[in-house]
Amino acid sequence: MTKPIYITDLDHTFLRSDLSISAYSTKVWNEKAKTSIMSIATARSFTKAQEFLSKLTINAPMILLDGAIIISPNKEIIDIKILKKEIGDAIVDIGSKHGIDPFIIGIKDANINESFLYPRRLNSYQKKVLTGYKDDPRMQFNPSNKTMAQNLKIVYFGYENQLRPLYEELVQTFGNTIEAKLSPENYGGGYFLTLLHPQGDKAHALAKVMEYLKRDSQDITVFGDSVNDIGMFKLAGTSVAVSNALEEVKAVATVILPHSNDEDGVARYLQS
């Protein structure tokens, strides 16, 4: 019998709003993993994903940093999409004209250890985001505001009236040489703008995982809530939106759950 495949987003989908995973969700997930292929597709890095998922069985490649990297549970790299320094620095220069500097996530060594660079100039929203990383060993001050040789992801946090004009200029300037996603942050009241390699999104990564598993994308069920999940939803055979998902995500979902991430929506679906 062919094992079913389930891949879930983390923040605001599988994780609760306080970034915890309930005992119920843990139990249901691990029971399901005995007979199914289970993994994640998240904006988070390998380091942070490991912290959250230490009690869960992951038995397939993980899609991380919005799709910029695909990595097995034992840290074998399946695929990686790098945003080159030349483009990265050009993105930062345009952002500077709009009065905002980004966070930059990149690879610092051959062991795929990550650096998380933060700028000198921080808006109020960025300061709030930064407090959640105060003890993170990957954090590095970046006073020069330059990108790395191997950038996985450039992220601007702020508010729509500042980020939308920046988004529009970046799309007009770089076209299909980058992947740009502007999305509301459901709980903080702000927006975030993510810049990636043009094939560094979850949809391209999902296709690569299916190729790796030698399975068709129609065989897979995915869960999500945000803009970066939409491409993945359109590709998967079954796409499931939690009740707290953005309306544009629900619009392309096969199933809309009656339960939110704080009500263990994914686990309830898996158990049913």
Q: What is the mean pLDDT of each run of 10 residues along the chain (272 residues)?
A: 92 92 96 96 83 89 92 88 93 95 85 81 85 78 89 92 95 94 78 91 93 92 94 96 95 97 97 92
Evaluate whether the domain defined by 5-78+201-271 bears CATH number 3.40.50.1000. yes
Evaluate whether the domain defined by 83-196 bears CATH number 3.40.50.620. no
Nearest to 24 by CA among 268, 261, 240: 268
Alpha-carbon separation of residue 200 from 12, 138, 175, 203, 251 (angstroms): 21, 21, 15, 8, 23
Sketch the domain layout of the chain as residue ranges: 5-78+201-271, 83-196
Written as one string, the DSSP assignment of 149-196 is: SEEEEEEEEE-HHHHHHHHHHHHHHHGGGSEEEEEE-TTTS-EEEEEE
**Can you give the pLDDT at residue 76?**
87
Cα–Cα distance, 237 to 257 (Å, whole number): 16
Cα–Cα distance, 62 to 172 (Å, whole number): 32
